Amino acid sequence: MADAAPPSLALRAYTALARALALVAPWHLQRRLRKGREDPERWREKLGQAGAVRPAGRLIWLNAVGLGEVMALRGLIEAMGRADPKAQFLLTSSARSSAEVISAHLPARTIHQYLPLDAPGFVARFLDHWRPDLSIWAEQEVWPVAVHMCDQRGIPLVMLNARISAASAGKRRFIKALYRDVLARFQQLVAQDPASAAHLKALGARDVRVMGSLKVAAPLLQAKPDELARMQAMFQGRKIWVAASTHLEDEAVAMAAQAQLFASDPRWLLVLVPRDPKRHLALEMPFVRRSRETALAGQPIYLADTFGELGLWYRLAPAALVGGSFGPVEGHNPWEPAALGCAVLHGPRIANFTADYAALHVADAAQEVRDAKSLVSALMNRDDFQQMGLRGQSLVRRAAPLDDLAAQMLKVGHRG
């Protein structure tokens, strides 16, 4: 491999700032720890201190920012594992919620760690311990120091499933020189859609390929069979619908709709699954918390305030309102319910999943609802949710397997 390019002035400036901020990083993390935002057992991983032993042999390091991105990488890890039965995998992320959920869904031969903060000392400690043979970055966030230090050490870099909106690209234009330096260090860049590819090129990337989202090919979300049977018995006789991965804006619409539904027929039951179940929720209707195992009785809302159980709720309901679609988040992953045969409803703000929802709409496997009134209308008047779910499930099953992509990644990862 050719020697790494020297850092640009922009990268040197960023690195100097990161080195200075690293001095207060332990204090910052401990402050977050006191507020419950960091894992008390593993927060030092963000300082580059390994929480596990490096396995022997070839190690592929994959990084994603949040929960949805981490879960989407599982299919690729499984495909790479089939292509190279001796390969080991390191999966990193930043959010505590992603770690808590992925722990129940880790593919074989995979270790999860928190991504170290982007400062030279922390990244060097991380790379010294793990010594990855390939570094794969998913979606849109890359950390300049980590990318530069991988390049310096001759670790091949790939950006996969890249997604960047016009708004995000606009914000990054102010530091285009930094992005141009960082993006040039990747051996391969693969975008989810032509618009993302164009935005990356405008920021200085070269030779960006376009391939659909990895999320459609992710393994099914799991559910424990005995728990599924227990919840089916608990919900017997109720008309269930799910509001999943919700934020404040989604919850306002969902609860207004449930108030109307419940008033018309008390059999209606909303299973509310917040994106962050530890966030305070100002629910205006009676509810039961899953975490407290209280009897359901005739309550209108079942609050699923636990991590990593969407596979259970999507199996129990004929339709799900996918959150993040009524506010600035701009949508969450619709393929998870579709893969389980659950009809997909969503709000008007889905910029992060434009192409995904377009495919689901063409197949009549999803429906947009703009407010509580249209949500109530969809839930009360559509009698084809089962068929909608089957159409979405069919789309998922026809998705291209990831074996060819996995073989390409493993080829990039062969050094020397």
| Catalytic positions, written as ranges | 69
| Rg over CA atoms, the chain | 22
Q: Which amino acid is at 88?
A: Q
Q: Are 161 and 355 in contact (CB under 8 A)?
A: no
Q: How far apart are CA 274 and CA 323, in angstroms?
A: 8
Angle made by CA atoms 27, 32, 34, in degrees to the nearest 5: 95
How would you list the strands of the sheet with 110-114, edge to edge?
110-114, 88-93, 59-63, 134-138, 157-162, 188-191, 208-210
Q: How far apart are CA 159 and CA 55, in angstroms?
A: 24
Q: How far apart are CA 144 and CA 152, in angstroms?
A: 12
Phi then psi for 120, rounded to 5 degrees? Answer: -55, -45
Pairing verdict, β 268-274 and 239-246: parallel
Q: How far apart are CA 210 and CA 207, in angstroms?
A: 10
Q: What is the residue-wise DSSP string for 164-185?
A: --HHHHHHHGGGHHHHHHHHTT
Nearest alpha carbon to residue 304 among 312, 317, 114, 62 = 312
CA count, 13 A, side-chain hemisphere, 273: 24
Q: Which amino acid is at 31?
A: R
